[in-house]
Chain A
Amino acid sequence: MTVRIQREDFDVGAEIARLSAGRTDVGAVASFTGICRDDGIAAMTLEHYPGMAEAEIERHVEEARSRWPLIGVTVIHRHGRMVPGDNIVLVATASSHREAAFAAAEFLMDYLKTRAPFWKKEERAGSAGWIEARHADTAAAARWGGRKPEAAE
């Protein structure tokens, strides 16, 4: 299991290949790559909570391993300033069969969106602002039957 929070870019192909390298029991690798999209932004900056970001993602990876028979999991999340076209996040899962690989990757992404301590700030022409959380992301995480994000009173 690999969890990395880093400023540097990552090599999607190399990370996926590593999950099945040197072994013959992997029958399926599913991956999701989140990419900085140009919808009028010049750049975005991802802030994170060092220490908790790793811990929270590792908790979700353990939860995924308890739900599905996974052989390997890789989660890489970048922080810092990114421009359209840059990689932001990679979730890759390896299993004997595709159902577990697909489901675990989707589960991990849904939880990353709503519970991993990262915040995106967009830079547009002449302004900068924090992206607001989307209700659709909270609903997507809720369908897995886990805990909801807590809010203060």
Chain B
Amino acid sequence: MKLLYFAWVRERIGKPEEEIDPPANVRTVAELVAWLSGRGEEYAYAFENAKVIRAAIDRNHVKPDTQIAGAREIAFFPPMTGG
């Protein structure tokens, strides 16, 4: 699946997007955040305060307990500040 990062999440991880293939035991958005956090200090830094991170699956806002099976595109970003 494709991951997208925006704003300071993107800056901390150091890239705007990547393709990943998480192990089968990573089933939810929260589990994906935990798995990513273990991939390196840039990920740990980006997700250090995981409760402020927002997520979207296929361009819809989702909650941490949402299943990721079948997702084509998952995005992580800070709280939105548009308007």
Contact = CB atoms under 8 A, between A and B. Distances in A.
Interface string A97-139: 0000000000001001111111111000000001111000100
Contacts of B79: 114, 132-133, 149
Given A49-B75, A119-B6, A119-B77, A151 B82 contact: no
Interface string B9-47: 000000000000000000001100100000000000000
A78 to B, nearest CB: 10
A150 B1 CA distance: 21
Interface in A25-44: 34
B82 A152 contact: no
Contact of A113 (B52, B63, B76, B80): B80
A153 B78 CA distance: 13
Contact of A130 (B61, B78, B82): B78
Given A47-B7, A55-B59, A149-B54, A119 B30 contact: no
A51 B73 CA distance: 11
A121 B82 CA distance: 10
A117 B6 CA distance: 9
B66 to A, nearest CB: 8
B64 A152 contact: yes
A150 B29 CA distance: 11
18 contacts: A34-B83, A46-B82, A49-B77, A52-B59, A113-B81, A116-B80, A116-B82, A117-B75, A118-B82, A119-B82, A120-B81, A130-B7, A130-B8, A130-B78, A149-B61, A151-B51, A151-B53, A152-B29
